[in-house]
Each structure stands twice: as structure tokens, then as C-alpha cells.
Structure 1
Amino acid sequence: MRRKAPPLEFIEAFVAAARTGSFRGAADKLALSPSAFSRRIRNLEDFLHAPLFDRSQASARLTPAGEQYLQAIEPAMDALFRATLDFRGEQTAGMLRIRAPHSFAISWLLQRTAKFMALNPDIEIEVTIGRGLDELRAGKVDAVIAVGPNEPHSFPQDRLIELEAAVVAAPTLLRGRTPPRHPRELAGHHVLCEEHAPNLWYTWLAAAGLDTTDSWSFTHHETLLMMYEAAAAGLGVTLGMPLFMEKYFQEGRLQACFALKQPIDYWYSLIYASEAISRRTDMRRFARWLHTEITHSQQHFADAVARAGSWEHADVPPVHQSVARVDQNPAQRRA
């Protein structure tokens, strides 16, 4: 009697290759030799009478038929994985492998992981530093904390908060200058940017109904943390964001220049490797804790900005400004 479904080992190999984008990487993940792995893929394609991968590419890129098949079987594979974990009782504890951008991890996340592990002694967290979703696709991490624009991808995710930013500076700037008291005073100050997000100032100013001029002086820094340290040293003004600012505000090294915060089209998101991982009990506990911690930090930021005082009635003469984008050079957008 002819089989109506392919062997599960064939499907497992197919899903692994589709998720990692590499036959070799998927073979290593399944502890198979490259030739044994390739045979499983070929046998599945023979069973389905359709090519699933475009072999003219160096990477394991799916054909349209492969994309269609993956969408059809991936939920079932995730459900099978989840059911097995439930049966074996492995969903209540484990090791969470979390990837996060450098500045976010160093300035906010790492100092809080001990708190989470104290509240959840049966769960450990391993934090690695990096941007993008390549490690997620390769199955090397369970989730990525992304800070940046809401870029399209196929992974399940939870949006945590939409970011707003406020102008911040050290209490005393270089050469004894005082921080700006009004958005229109920004044109007379040195402005600090992060090189992976060169147009944040443009987005913020547009939301505030203001423009930039070609005479503005910008300095780009490699990471947000470097940018904020430069601002704390009095080297210029910059855009402060929730979470990053908490330590600086508490220590008095940075302060909001005026009580105005604007959206910058950036989000904090928790992006999962699969639906099954997103539903694991240990991951759900981490996600709830993360959301609570971020909400508290966001409120701390809002309160600190509000204490800066009103800028609307500051005695500053109006300035006519012409529109010019902050930085037209292409750059990565994830912060």
C-alpha cells in the first residue's frame, strides 16, 4: 500500500533546512552527514513530485512550492514539538537563549537578568550580543529582543512598547554652555547621532513640527551607549529613549532639556524562533516579566521628561528654518 505521507525524518530535514537557510547548517543541527541529509531532501522531493529548493543558489532558498509546503506543515511540526515537551514535562523550566543589541543588553537587560532568575530559580538566561535575525534563523537562540523599526519578517513576535524620545544633555555642556531650553535652540548646539539610525533626528523633528538646517553639526557614534556617554561628557545634545536613559537620569549625568517627547517609529519587540517556543511556559514567564520591567522603565522616563518643565512659553525668539534631511547616506536602521 502506497504511503500517503512522507516519513517524519524527511519533513524534519526539510524544516531544518528552510529555517537555517543552509543544508550544511541543518545537517549539523540534526547530526547527519551532508550526503545523508541531501538524500532526505531528495527523497521528500521525489515523494511530493516537486522541487522544494532552488539549487542554483548557494543558500538553501525555497522554491514557490517549497514555500507553500513549509507554510502548510510548519504549524503541525510546531504542535508536535510542543505536545512532546508537554508529555515529557519539559515546558516548566529550561535555558532561555536570548539575543539582544549591544547597548540595550549592556545598559539595561543584563543588570536585570539576575532579578528574573531569582524570581524564577528553575530558569536560566543566556544573553548573547548581536543585531538581526540570522541567529534566530539558524536555531541558535530562542528569541531576539529587537530595538528598531518594525521591519517585516516571518517569525512570531510580541510588541513590547513603541518608543518615544526626548532631547537630553548633560547639566553643563562643553565650555560651560547651558542645555537648550526650547526645540528652536537646537540649531545652535552640537547634535549627537547613532550611525545605525542616522534619521532618528529627522523623524523626531518632523513629529515636533520642526525642521533642520544644513548648518547643523552632527557627530555619529558607533553604538547608542557610546553616543550617550559622549552626551553625558557634555559633548552635545542627543535623543534619549526609555530604558537607555534610566541610569543616566538616576545618576544625574543626563537630563531632559524640556518636557517634550515625540514618537520615532521605533519599537521594542520580542521575536521568537517559532510558535512552539513562544508558547513555552518558561518563555511566557520571561515575556511577561520583560513587559512589566519595560513598562516600569518607560514610566520612569515619562516622569523624568515631565519634570523638565514646559518649553511652550520659553522666552526664545522664533527662527525660520529650511528643511534638510539629517543624513541621506544609506545605513542600517536597527539600533
Structure 2
Amino acid sequence: MATRRLPPLRALEAFVRTVRLGSARAASDELGLSPSALSRRIGNLETFVGKKLFTRARQAMQLTDEGQAFYEAVNPHLEALARAVESQSDNLSLLRLRLGVLPMFGSKRLFPRLGELRTRHPLLHIDIDTGPHLEDRVGDTLDAAIILSRGPASGLHAIRLDHNNVHAIASKALADKLGKEPDEELLAKQTFLIHNELPESFQAWKAALSMQDLDPAAIDHYDSGQLMLEAAAQGLGIAIMHDDHLRRDEDARLTNLYGVEVESPYSYWFVCKPTALEERPVRLFHDWLVRAAL
């Protein structure tokens, strides 16, 4: 039986790193190659497979459709090979990921699914950080983070995890008192609960109701979505939050005030430094998160 030819592995590594990092310059720096040497390796791979994997223009490399298809076909097998080598290694060690995450996302979306990740990658362990300024600490005290943002800072690898609507969430008792139609005079007498991470959501909600000048009796600020929902359930105010929060909390005491849906300025994002994708713990979590679609 004839032995199949293996592709040039260094060329394959150059290709995969260029795709993952999204930049030929970043890939050449990571591999310690000159840009021309990186280009030659990828050229060797293109010759081997007989396909144009990248277009080249003005020192930039853009993945072609065939290149994308090749990456999607090859990458899972490379990950499987890495896992196989890991399983046979005498130097088994834990893989440690320092992940920043907001408590609400962690409790309602991430933790219910982490068992799947542990089953798939038993060596991967995660240190959870729910402290402030998660995005600013990525690449320093954090390997990666799941943030709530209008859009992550440039220079970060970012994947948008959802699209949300903003709702005013209140106790059913308070909703009954306010009635089915928005009344600016009644709303002006209420306390509104605003999350520190969502300061512009209230403005979006007011604009949708054509009540830009609404000035409530008080605005209380929270850094915990879970506590905001409990406060709303206890009748302490009207929480301006995402529909996702109400749906996942499944608290029968709460309701969506007026049934108004407003597009949120904010979404959940996964962020890390582009070079962090070459670190196995980050890559494993990143790929699982994308597939899991939490």
C-alpha cells in the first residue's frame, strides 16, 4: 500500500498561523520569519495542494474562498492531532485559562455549558475573574474576556456573541400600577435601575418611547445584573436590561414593561489579543465558544 505524501508541515503551520492571527506580519513575527520567507512557505503549500489560498496585493494577504475551505477542512484535524499527541505525552499538564466574564453571563450562559467543555478538554481549567475593566486587562492579567460592549477596542481579536434588545423590566405588581400604555408622568415618579456596563441603554429606551426628556425620580446604578433583577422583582425600581437577561432568569415575578423592544447599543463579545489565539488554552476555549453558540 502506497504511503500518502504529507503536506510540508512548516508550510502548513505558516498558513494556519496567518489565518488565525489575521495578519501575515503577525504570523511572521510569531514564527521568527521574514515576510518573504513566510510567503515562500505558503507558496510551497499552494503548490502542494494546487490551489490559490491567498491573494497578495500591496504586501497584504487575503484568504481566498478556496483558502477558507482548506482551512475549515484542515484545522479540525490539526486540533485532533494536537489532542492525540497530548494524550500520549508523558508530560501531561493542566492547561490554564485566565478568563474575565460578567457574573450574569457566567451564571446564566457560560456555567450551564462548561461541563461540555470539560468533557471535550479535561486538561483545560479556567480561572474566572468577574472584576471591573475586563477589556483593559486583556493581555495583562487576563488571557481573554467576555465583555458587554458597543464594540471592542481596535487591536483585539473579537467575536460578537449575540444581538440584543433593551427592555424595561419591572415587577408584575408595578407593571399593573403603571398600566399598559407608557405614561411619562407616571414614569417620572419611578426609580430606574441602570447597569454600570449599559449606561446608554436607558437613552435608547427613552428614545424608542419618544420620551427623550423623561427625568425619573431617581436612577440607581448597579454592577450586577442578577442583583438588578432581584431589586426589580422586589419592586425597588424598573431595570433597564437586555431581553436575554429576562428570558434566562425565568423569574415569574418579573415582566417586560409595555412589551416594547428596543435595539440595544451593546452586545456580548469574546475578546483576546490576536497572538493569544496561538496559546492552546485560549484557542480551545475560543473554538468551543464559537461552536457552542451560548
Give the TM bin, normalised by the shorter chain: 0.5 to 0.7
CA contact (8 A) 1:145 1:268 kept: yes
Aligned partner of 2:28 among 73, 76, 88 = 76
CA contact (8 A) 2:191 2:218 kept: yes
Question: Which residue is equivalent to 1:170?
Answer: 171
Unaligned regions of 5+ residues in structure 2, if any?
1-22, 34-77, 87-94
Unaligned regions of 5+ residues in structure 1, if any?
1-70, 294-335
Counterpart Cα distance in 1 of 2:196 and 2:276: 36
Aligned partner of 1:287 among 286, 289, 293 = 289
CA contact (8 A) 1:194 1:221 kept: yes
CA deviation map 1:216-258 (0-9, x unaligned): 432223433322221111112122314422343x231322123
One-letter amino acid of the structure 2 residue matched with residue 238 of structure 1: A
Measured at CA, do residues 134 and 217 of structure 1 come closer, stay the same or move farther in structure 2, by a change above 3 Å? Answer: closer
CA contact (8 A) 1:103 1:225 kept: yes
Within the alignment, does 1:205 sit opposite 2:206 as a pair?
yes
CA contact (8 A) 2:101 2:145 kept: yes
Question: Which residue is equivalent to 1:137?
Answer: 139
Measured at CA, do residues 135 and 91 of structure 1 come closer, stay the same or move farther in structure 2, by a change above 3 Å? Answer: farther
Counterpart Cα distance in 2 of 1:163 and 1:240: 10
One-letter amino acid of the structure 2 residue matched with residue 170 of structure 1: S
Task: State the identity as a percent.
Answer: 20
Counterpart Cα distance in 2 of 1:191 and 1:268: 23
Question: Which residue is equivalent to 1:181?
Answer: 180
Q: Number of paired residues?
A: 215
Counterpart Cα distance in 2 of 1:80 and 1:88: 26
Question: Which residue is equivalent to 2:91?
Answer: none
Counterpart Cα distance in 1 of 2:182 and 2:107: 30
CA deviation map 1:76-112 (0-9, x unaligned): 234569xxxx699547874443211234324442343
Q: In structure 1, the residue corresponding to 2:161 is in which secondary structure?
A: strand
Superposed displacement of residue 272, structure 1: 1.8
Measured at CA, do residues 87 and 79 of structure 1 come closer, stay the same or move farther in structure 2, by a change above 3 Å? Answer: farther
1:58-77 maps to which residues of 2 (within 5 A)?
A: 73-77=25-29
Within the alignment, does 1:257 sit opposite 2:257 as a pair?
yes
Counterpart Cα distance in 2 of 1:223 and 1:124: 25
Q: In structure 1, the residue corresponding to 2:172 is in which secondary structure?
A: coil
Measured at CA, do residues 125 and 236 of structure 1 come closer, stay the same or move farther in structure 2, by a change above 3 Å? Answer: same
One-letter amino acid of the structure 1 residue matched with residue 269 of structure 2: S
1:218-257 maps to which residues of 2 (within 5 A)?
A: 218-248=219-249, 250-257=250-257
CA contact (8 A) 1:79 1:276 kept: no
Within the alignment, does 1:104 sit opposite 2:56 as a pair?
no
One-letter amino acid of the structure 1 residue matched with residue 180 of structure 2: R
CA contact (8 A) 2:162 2:268 kept: yes
TM-score under structure 1 length normalisation: 0.53
One-letter amino acid of the structure 2 residue matched with residue 191 of structure 1: F
Counterpart Cα distance in 2 of 1:207 and 1:154: 33
Counterpart Cα distance in 1 of 2:159 and 2:254: 31
Q: In structure 2, the residue corresponding to 1:265 is in which secondary structure?
A: coil
Q: In structure 2, the residue corresponding to 1:97 is in which secondary structure?
A: strand
Measured at CA, do residues 253 and 274 of structure 1 come closer, stay the same or move farther in structure 2, by a change above 3 Å? Answer: same
TM-score under structure 2 length normalisation: 0.60
Counterpart Cα distance in 1 of 2:142 and 2:82: 17
CA contact (8 A) 1:100 1:146 kept: yes
Measured at CA, do residues 148 and 183 of structure 1 come closer, stay the same or move farther in structure 2, by a change above 3 Å? Answer: farther
CA contact (8 A) 2:147 2:268 kept: yes
Q: In structure 1, the residue corresponding to 2:267 is in which secondary structure?
A: strand
